[in-house]
Amino acid sequence: MDLKEFWLNSLKRLYPTITHQKFVSWFKNTAAISIEKGTLTVGLPTTFAQNWVNDKYKIKVLQAAQELNPEIEKVVFEVHATLDNPADGRAVNIDVIIGKKRKSRKISGGREVSYGDGLKSKAFNPRYTLNNFIVGKDNRLPHAACMAAANMPGGIYNPLFIYGGVGLGKTHLLQATGIEILKNRPDAKVIYMSAEKFVTEIVEAIGKRYTKEFKAKYRNVDCLILDDVQFFARKDSSQQEFFHTFDDLYNFNKQILISCDRSPSELEGIDTRLVSRFTMGMVVELLFPDFETRLAILHAKCREHGVIIDSEILEFIAYNTQKSIRELEGILLQVVALSQIQNTVPTLALVAGIMKKLNKSKEIVGIQEIKTETKRIVRDSDDVMDMVCEHFNITRTELLGNDRRREFALPRQICMYLMKNELDHSYEKIGRDFSGRTHTTVLHACNKVVSSMKTDEKLVRDLNALKKEMGL
């Protein structure tokens, strides 16, 4: 056992013998400095702590240390002023000892905003705004509906029911709408909570026979936002209570916003009267966004986190993420973290490795090629041409010729693209290499490849494989 581990274990034994507060005050930023000839030397960051601990805790420290190492006969305390500087690195992190206690305290609370009369809302996450929600064709409608509800709460988009799979931005939109309503009307009572929490409150109220108070309380709300209402399924008495609250709010033109993981017609175990209430206003589906929108989201998240990542890497992530935006963000954050740890610029191979780990079962476009690649040295146009011909199984004459059929035109365009982007040759030079074509022909070919990359899965795969072969 090294000194740090030894001291951590000693503190673990000491912790239950004194109060939490005192333990934190006196044993934060402390370390075992040495154990020599039966003497344990403990370092403390201040003279004050040295005197105090020596006075009050010497015996307890000795006992805890002796349990681990019976050869220790004596403890001395020394001042090591740098111990409270994290850069010193010798001090034990007592969070691992007191961590559990902290966690259990936290569970009940969470961050909440209280409106009086027992009305509480979960605090909004300021990261979620309508402005930083990236809009593409697949999520334009839900976004527009939220904007409308925020600008005119209780209007025609009431209730607003947003549904879609996990990690597609439902919570983001709901919270952003709440934040926007509060911006327009800072005194409004905007309550945001998960349907699960709402059910817990209802059950509590029923148990204490407080249902009247419960109803009265929610009647004062200006906007009620319930996230994940699928939680109401099969909770019949909760549904009953919610039904009344819903009608009260609705009749007074208070805005109701609801999210759900499926459409109202697919909801099971929820009273049909309630389901029909859900559909009285606007029902919109949030879909998994298309490639361009996913890419735009990645660019936005990079800006948000202040990191710069090559567009090609972002395209690869956007292309290969097929499920949720949460997954997309998760991969990006891992890429950032890993490249920071390794102090390198993220490469396609690094990203592919991360994605492979996360998606054990799924085939990732480009991965297979990366794995089985045989690197070769690609130095000039000739090498690229050879490589492309081999990859597409065409001859050099076919590559350089004028046959416009796709099987020849595509390799030709890809070849030009690689020469431009990877070898940095000018359009003019590439034109000359391709039997004297003009520079505009080459320019068009390169642009064609770039635009096709967004929709053509096979093309991306081919390009990744070729680049990999070039050692990129």
From the list ligand ADP, Mg ion, none, partner contacted by residue 330 (C-beta under 5 to 8 A by kind) = none
How does DSSP classify residue 196? H
Token digits for 304?
């948000």
Residue 454 as a binder of ligand ADP (CB under 6 A): the answer is no
Nearer to ligand ADP, 193 or 430 (CB): 193
* Residue 201, binding choice from Mg ion, ligand ADP, none, Cβ under 5 to 8 Å by partner class: none
Closest to Mg ion by CB, 180 or 369: 180
- The two beta strands, 282-285 and 160-163, are parallel
In this complex, which beta carbon is closest to ligand ADP, that of residue 241 or of residue 329?
Answer: 329
- Contact pattern from residue 256 through residue 295 relative to ligand ADP, giving x for each residue in contact according to CB under 6 A and a dash for the rest: ----------------------------------------
Of ligand ADP, Mg ion, none, which one does residue 155 interact with (CB within 5 to 8 Å by kind)? Answer: none
* Residue with smaller CB distance to ligand ADP, 170 or 217: 170
Question: Furthest-apart CA pair in the chain: how many Å?
Answer: 93
- β-sheet with 223-227: strand ranges across: 190-194, 223-227, 255-260, 160-163, 282-285
Kindly state the smallest distance separating residue 297's Cβ from ligand ADP, in Å.
5
Cα distance between residue 388 and residue 390, in whole Å: 5
* Chain residues in the site for Mg ion (CB under 5 A): 170-171
- Alpha helix (H) ranges present in 252-310? 272-278, 291-305
Quote the CA–CA distance of 249 and 258 in Å, as a whole number: 13
C-alpha 241/C-alpha 341 separation (Å) is 52
The item of ligand ADP, Mg ion, none sharing an interface with residue 329, based on CB under 5 to 8 Å by kind, is ligand ADP
Cα dihedral sign for 84, 85, 86, 88?
A: negative
Q: Which is nearer to ligand ADP, 81 or 166 (CB)?
A: 166
CB of 226 to ligand ADP, least distance (A): 12
Closest CA to 326 of 167, 170, 172: 167
Say how many C-beta atoms besides its own lie within 10 A of residue 22's C-beta: 12
Comparing C-alpha atoms, which of 383, 397, 357 is closest to residue 469? 383
Closer to ligand ADP by CB, 139 or 239: give it.
139
Scan residues 106-145 and list those touching ligand ADP (CB under 6 A). 133-134, 139
The residue with its CB nearest to Mg ion is 171
- The beta strands (E) that lie in 165-248 are given as 190-194, 223-227
Q: Which does 467 bind (CB under 5 to 8 A by kind): ligand ADP, Mg ion, none?
A: none
- Number of Cβ atoms within 10 Å of the Cβ of 299: 15
How many C-beta atoms lie closer than 10 Å to residue 242's C-beta?
A: 24
Closest to Mg ion by CB, 80 or 170: 170
Among 224, 225, 282, 297, binds ligand ADP (CB under 6 A): 297
Strands 255-260 and 160-163 turn out to be parallel
**What phi, psi does 271 have (nearest 5°)?**
-45, 130
Find which of Mg ion, ligand ADP, none residue 172 binds, CB within 5 to 8 Å per kind: ligand ADP
Give CA–CA dist 329/310, Å, rounded: 16
| Window 160-189: contact mask with ligand ADP (x via CB under 6 A) | ------xxxxxxx-----------------
Site string for ligand ADP, 304-333 (x = CB under 6 A): ---------------------xx--x----
3-state secondary structure of 335: helix
Nearer to ligand ADP, 43 or 169 (CB): 169
Residues lying near ligand ADP in the complex (CB under 6 A): 133-134, 139, 166-172, 297, 325-326, 329
